[in-house]
Amino acid sequence: MVASLSHQLSGVRSVTEDCHTSHPSNPRSAVVVGASLAGLMSALTLARVGLQVTMLERSTRKSRAGAALPVMHGLLEQLTGRSAPTGANAVPSGAQAWSDVHAALRSAAQAETRISMRAPVRVTDSGQDHESAWVVTDDGECVHADLVVGADGHGSVVRRHVVPEAPEAHFSGYVIWLGLVDECDLQSPPWPSDLAILYEGDYCLNAYYLPGADGSTAPGQRRVGWGWYDAGRNDLLRASGAVIDDVVRRTLRAGDIPARTFEELAEEAQQMWPDPWREAIRLCIRRGEVIGTPIGEYLPPRIASGRVCLVGDAAHLPSPMTGSGFSASAQDALALAEAIDGDRSRNDVLGALRRYEATRLAPSRQLVQSGRQFSLSIAPRGAAQ
């Protein structure tokens, strides 16, 4: 059935005048925009409570060099529905490489028959009426479902629909440089603990050991990751277009970083940081295996509107210094599925998303606010509002 958009929810703007809704034959369906961590977790939990899930991802490749996540014991198993490996193949709890966690979630999603994934697909808008929600792709396609989940990160397109009066995450005034190397490539002796948080002037370094690519946690067989918070190169971020009008637009890849900046970072690392972290940083720089992510923060006034909701960084963007972004995204996914599964009438999506927001909005706001103190300490003149 094709219906006009003239019967929209009050206060919800149309996506385009010529985008008409074709209501899904199975009302227990969802479109998840974004196939990063929050998107994969949401798709998995929604599929497990019986929804048919279509995932739309704009990129064919995901990479977060050096990024690490604190993963609680049993959380991945709870999200994926898979039993934890045992014995020599057991997955350690604690810090995990972003890429390893993403690979585990993606593998589980690909094996789930209720999930279909499409990439590359760029979503440009979203909308809803009384009977369905949809997103619009850059080639004009409308993809419909019973609900839309925005898991499209800090620059979320779906957020513009949910919070049209405050759609942007604002730049916090600093960048985090990230890198990752194999411990066996370093000559320096190991650090006495698995994590170091070091301060020098206006800089902060988080450095950590991660399991090796084979899962090994034995000294010499691990990986060394580092995140260097730097408030001194905002001119570069703006000149490169990574930050525009105090809004974070993109990450700096190695090809975006001038040779002189690499030289400066290497010199500063030599002066400020102890080994083995210094050696790891300088090795990443020599190899050109460094990315720079401008830090944005987003304090949500709401995370749901009608049939459309937000999860992960699209919903709440804290400073990574909180160390709780992944856990919060996981809790979003679990709470969303619980709210949908608790919809005993099987069609009260609006009520389910109101319950989801009631569960997750206050903790989300608290998380973002908890990171503000760090942001103000490292970038007191930062742009976050």
DSSP 8-class letter at 320: G
Q: In this structure, what token pair is assigned to residue 58?
A: 């704009």
pLDDT value of residue 346: 61
Indicate the angle between helix axes 325-341 and 349-378, nearest 10 degrees.
Answer: 170
Distance, in Å, from the CA atom of 138 to the CA atom of 339, rounded to the nearest integer, reads 31
User: Mapped to the 3 state alphabet, what secondary structure does 65-103 carry?
Assistant: CCCEEEECCCHHHHHHCCCCCCHHHCCCCEEEEHHHHHH
pLDDT one-digit tens code per residue, 104-159: 899 999 999 999 999 999 999 999 999 999 999 999 999 999 999 999 999 999 99
- Please report, for the domain that includes residue 261, its CATH number: 3.30.9.60
**Are the CB atoms for 169 and 317 separated by under 8 Å?**
yes
Residue 127: phi and psi, rounded to 5, are -165, -175
- Please report, for the domain that includes residue 320, its CATH number: 3.50.50.60
- C-alpha distance across the termini of the chain, in Å: 45
Measure the CA angle with vertex 94, ends 88 and 97; round to 5°: 85
Q: Is residue 101 part of a domain?
A: yes
Measure the CA angle with vertex 14, ends 13 and 18; round to 5°: 165
Q: Of 296, 330, 349, which residue is a domain's last?
A: 296
Distance, in Å, from the CA atom of 171 to the CA atom of 330, rounded to the nearest integer, reads 24
pLDDT one-digit tens code per residue, 201-225: 889 999 999 999 888 999 999 999 9
Q: Of 278, 296, 314, which residue is a domain's last?
A: 296
Coil vs helix vs strand at 304 = strand
Q: Is residue 304 part of a domain?
A: yes
Query: Which range among 22-36, 101-115, 260-274 shows the weakest confidence by mean pLDDT?
Result: 22-36
pLDDT value of residue 86: 43
Q: Are both 142 and 37 inside the same structural domain?
A: yes
Q: Of 279, 296, 313, which residue is a domain's last?
A: 296
60 has pLDDT over 80: no
Higher-pLDDT residue of 383, 334 = 334
Q: Are both 38 and 69 inside the same structural domain?
A: yes
Question: Once rounded to an integer, what is the mean pLDDT over residues 87-112?
Answer: 77
Q: Are both 146 and 211 inside the same structural domain?
A: no
Q: In this structure, what token pair is assigned to residue 183?
A: 């411990």
Coil vs helix vs strand at 170 = strand
pLDDT one-digit tens code per residue, 150-204: 999 999 999 999 999 999 999 999 999 999 999 999 999 999 999 999 999 889 9
Distance, in Å, from the CA atom of 330 to the CA atom of 178, rounded to the nearest integer, reads 23
pLDDT value of residue 100: 87
Q: Are both 95 and 220 inside the same structural domain?
A: no
**Are the CB atoms for 6 and 130 separated by under 8 Å?**
no
Domain region containing 40: 2-169+298-378
Q: In this structure, what token pair is assigned to residue 221?
A: 């067989």
Q: Are both 216 and 360 inside the same structural domain?
A: no
Counting the structural domains of the chain, the total is: 2
Q: Is residue 129 part of a domain?
A: yes
Q: Are both 196 and 332 inside the same structural domain?
A: no
Torsion of CA 252, 295, 118, 290, to 10 degrees: 30
CA atoms within 13 A on the CB side of 195: 9
Distance, in Å, from the CA atom of 82 to the CA atom of 91, rounded to the nearest integer, reads 12
